[in-house]
Amino acid sequence: MNKDYYKILNINRNATQADIKKSFRTLSKTHHPDKGGDESTFKEMSEAYDTLGDGNKRGEYDNKLNNPFHGRQQQSRGPSMDDVFSQFFRQNQAQHQTRKGRSLNIPLKVSLEDVFFSNVKKLKYNREMKCGTCRGSGGNVHACNVCKGSGHIENMVGNAFFRQIRRDVCKQCNGAGKIVVQACNSCNGRGTLTTPNTVDFKTPSNLMTGQVYNFKGLGDDIENGHAGDLSVQVVIERHPHFKMVGTDIQYRVNIPIIKMLLGTEIEIPFFTGPLKAKIPPLSNITQNFNIKGKGMSTNAGVGDLVIEPTVIMPTVLNNEEIETLKSLDIKENFKI
């Protein structure tokens, strides 16, 4: 295991789910690409949060982290130097032999309702799939005579003390390793066809805007290789009434100052239907009111619906209102 997700999110291994979310949210303010941060760093953070933010994934990750030999047979004798070099060159050779298609990056916008209900969103996009007529070859082809079909040219560079082999893309065939003699009528020699594809994305209830989710093998196809991956960056659209804060849902409502003094009842246009809440008389203007269990439902628990009243003052007063307020101003209850 090469990546330490705890180190990436700047937390210790005993961190709670709330700590993990708070750290990711704090780091996102600095590293999100929209804030001028590095995209690769943010993707690595999203990958770490996707694992540690899920209780089951985190448990599997911790098991592997605590046991570096997880899934491997331990041997009493360590490998010899010849074994190390042999394994290195086999892996290096395999990496060069295995081709992979282009990976795709697609944005996805979801609503706060989608997150609340964990709705399934159908993501439609186009990907390149191997042509069924020529099976990805592009037509009648022959191996490139410059690179001998490898798609690259190897050049020795360096000096008398240190030399290495540099692999450059063959300019004759542009890395394809082949030359199309007669193009396929279906794909016009491209080897692929632009094909519509649909992915069902189940919106996580613990989603945070900007998270990236990866789908293996759903990118562009390629001949004699593996398809690339699909990366989906999910953004939660701004809601006209509500805002998600951790597992809580925040609702801000304007209330006239007289109603704050006398008490009132408000109606909330909630996702599951209208809710009614009472604001008691003489409520503090900085006080919030919670409706338990009406927030987001995640592995960390269920949040609340938090009502944040904003006191509204009148913009104009008529003579009668002024006289009424003056009569109240001398009352004992309104003295400092």
100-125+196-235 against 242-334: fold identical: yes
What single-letter amino acid sits at 42?
F
Angle between helix 17-31 and 39-52 (nearest 10): 170
Share of the chain above pLDDT 90, in %: 40
Give me the CATH code for the 100-125+196-235 domain, please.
Answer: 2.60.260.20
Q: What is the dihedral of CA 314, 320, 322, 326, to 10 degrees?
A: -130
Report residue 52's pLDDT band, with 50, 70 and 90 as the boundaries: confident
- Indicate yes or no: pTM above 0.85: no
**R_g of the chain computed on alpha carbons:** 31
- Report helix, strand or coil for 243: strand
What is the pLDDT at residue 174?
A: 78
268 secondary structure, DSSP code = E
In this prediction, residues 116-144 reach a mean pLDDT of 90
pLDDT score of 115 more than 90? yes
Superfamily of domain 1-67: DnaJ domain (1.10.287.110)
Helix 55-66 and helix 39-52, axial crossing angle in degrees, nearest 10: 100
pLDDT at 16: 87
269: left (phi over 0), alpha (psi -120 to 50) or beta: beta
What's the rounded Cα separation, in Å, for the pair 153 and 148? Answer: 9
| 253-304 per-position pLDDT tens digit | 999 999 999 999 999 999 999 999 999 999 888 889 999 999 998 887 899 9
Domain spans of the chain? 1-67, 100-125+196-235, 139-183, 242-334
**CATH superfamily to which 242-334 belongs:** Urease metallochaperone UreE, N-terminal domain (2.60.260.20)
At 185, the amino acid letter reads N
pLDDT tens digit string along 249-258?
Answer: 999 999 999 9
Predicted local distance difference test score (pLDDT) of residue 104: 95
Nearest in space to 33 (alpha carbons), one of 23, 44, 22: 44
Q: H or E segment at 181? A: strand 178-183
